[in-house]
Structure 1
Amino acid sequence: MLRVAVVGSGPSGCYTAQSLVQQDPEVRVDVLDRLPCPYGLVRYGVAPDHEKIKSLQNNLRSVLEHERVRFLGGVAVGPGGVPAARLRELYHAVVYCVGAATDRHLGIPGEDLPGSWSATEFVSWYSAHPDAADDGFVQGVRSAVVIGVGNVAVDVTRMLARGVTELAPTDMPQAALTSLAKSRVTDIHMVGRRGPSQARFTTKELRELGTLPGTAVLVDRREAGTDPAFLDPSGLPNAQRRNVEVLRGWADAPPAPEARRRIRLRFYLRPVELLERNGRVGAVRFERTAPDGDGGGGVRGTGRFEEIEAQLVLRSVGYRGVPLEGLPFDATTGTVPHRAGRVLRGEAAASGEYVSGWIKRGPTGVIGTNRPCAKETVASLLADAAELEQREVPSDPLPHLRAEGVEPVGWAGWCAIERAEADLGASLGRSVVKLPDWESLLAAARTAGA
């Protein structure tokens, strides 16, 4: 019987487990996660007001409830947890589905000033990630700058502009909801260094900005028109053309003086420095860019500069994988070298070690992209199965994991967390409300054994 450990319970991990049990009628899969809660970025990365996307948890749940799949939360792999080498001794194969755990930096002066954060940190805060900074992100903030023009940038912009009426029905943690309800943010600038036709957001996400109550979306036609495709989008691929058409509509819209908040979509501005005011960030200095003329969407600096006031700066310029204990790592791509999912050590495939998801291919694609990615890795693993099964492993790795000093949170523990979050929401007059810290999550999980 093939025993496989899948490290990571987000979409890539769940799709890997699903593909394994569908293709091998006897395989046993343990899905390990550092957190006591499953679902990865579906729980801790999808915006709380995107209920339809969050409902994907129901599909992932069916995988983790499969009779030959076991969820083991609260199990860190690597320093401070179960050594990767020990994991290899306990399972015939280990598939790492750990995503891209950190964010990219701008590499400019002032980036570390108070009030300057990654969008990932802000998302973790309003998504109740137990490692999130407990900080008043919006306290004292009138103007915010979001650097980046992808879907995450749109998400954080929308959260800054949302009112408490729209956020209260979500599972947002109570402290974040209270903080955002007191927000005095009036201006949010979402800024890209290139033009509208190169923006990475999807049209559906972009259009949502125009539906926010009491909020005006502003586009400077002259600035956006630096992009020739903004003036005539007919030659663009459909996705980019739809984006440009939405932006053109906002550029032509009449003023909305009654709006309480303003979202300004800015283009052809490259951040060069975060400026300090009274011990924290107070403005962002940008260089104006322009198309470089090569036709590939590149830009060049113009030597002209502009400052935008901001007491909060959120950078949303991409995720990045981090090295894993005992595995090779390509620092350029932020991924583990592999061949069809098999981990490569030099030119040779490492026996029993595999990758799937962002740590395999980089932070690209949508949630559904993880499904074919997982199938490719599983095909490689099952092709190796006859060789892998020659090695003896314990009939049940769980006692051996406990011997390493960990006490996993099983599926019953996770269900207890779900009940506690439903109870918390009921006590607050809301629906489900997430528990925001390790102590409350683990305390809830322990009630499963009471």
Structure 2
Amino acid sequence: MPTFTTRKNKIVLTDYNYRRDIENRLFMAELSILEVDVLQEIINGSLKTTLTTLADNLEIAPSKLRPILDKLAKSGLFQIQGDGVLVDKEMRKYYEAHIIKFDDDFRPDMEYLQGLLSKAPIHALPSWYAIPRSSDNIFNSIIEKFLFTPKIYERYLQDLVFDNPIISSIAKQVFAAPDYKISASALIEKFGLTREQFEEYMLFLEFSLVCCLRYVKTNDVWEEVVTPFHEWHEFLLFVQNTHPVAIQDVTPITAVYEKEFGFLNELNAFVKKLLKKGVSFTNAPKDLLEVALLLEIAKQEKQKIVASVYTEDWLKKTRADQAIILYRQSLNRLIANEQFTSFSEKDLREVEKSLKNFAHGKWVYFEDYIKGCLAAVGSVLPTSLVNRGKRWKYSTPNYNEDEREFIKLITCEYLMQAGMVATGYHQDKLCLCLTPFGRLSLG
């Protein structure tokens, strides 16, 4: 949940005629479904029409339409002259930008935000958002400064502060709500607001890039709801819906190692034997041999594996110290791995960071973990706000087979052997969890 604590917000609504927008929002918030249909018909129709024509198009009686037109005429969109309806061209353009909020496919997205920003005088925007006046594209500059990556945007939300604590509280309620969506009526009731106060606060929050209003058809009425901006809302839902769920019944899990540092226990037992007697190269367990040679706690003499000068010192170390030494060799192991030559230390660290997604230490399926993994490995770029035509979206990974295998190598082999991850099988499906040592080391 974001908090708003340190940085002063510089948006000044009085820099433009914001009262007009407030009045429009108040007007639209009171519209019924039929009234919205009438308004859409007028906006999308001819500048000159008649009550009879509108009634025919809407398939309602003229006597039912007339009181609706009387109410809608207060918007200034049109005038009624007898049976005639004369639409104001400039006001139609104004309402075209607002009536889309009632469309089934309306999304309060970056395109909507761009339209919102166009209402404010362009000379005020650099001051509002502290961007250079020499910027070639103010909208792109705003995206780069505040919205470009989840980390940038989260930091902006954490640093944001408002003069009015109720505005901060509204934002917190939105981000704490189920699926990050809450009704306007619930917020108005909770904070004891008038409708006008609420609409003004929401306009301020929209310009502050925090959350926005939309209309949802519920039980044959239009209901105002508040959500984060569409792109951030979608990303939050992705994170929520792909968060790996802990396996409830862990009894059937067959762990690869029953005890923490299980691999290191086997490694130590193996090299202890070498102190007494060498082992044939062909008889040495491959995984233990690879690590023992890497750590130089064993060496090959012709066709035998024997202890090295470092073996005894190694065995004197604590398991935790041994685990750290093995963990620090992960990069060298990766460099030596011919199957994954296209991956680097950056990729390795990205995978490590992704494990914080289930730092609770409970077992999760590997497939569930990778669905919500945001590690930028291989060809996958870091999550950022990307433009796809008129639409924007926070990118999320779509790993190819090599990238999936790389993530599996790091989590289920390298980190497992270092005692940071435990692996096992539940109903024939690979699962893993962070060990207490892993939570301490990677957290």
The reply to whether TM is greater than 0.5 is: no
- TM-score under structure 2 length normalisation: 0.22
Q: Decide which structure has the larger Cα Rg and report it.
A: 2
Higher helix share: 2
Q: Relative contact order (alpha carbons < 8 A, sep ≥ 6): 1 or 2 greater?
A: 1
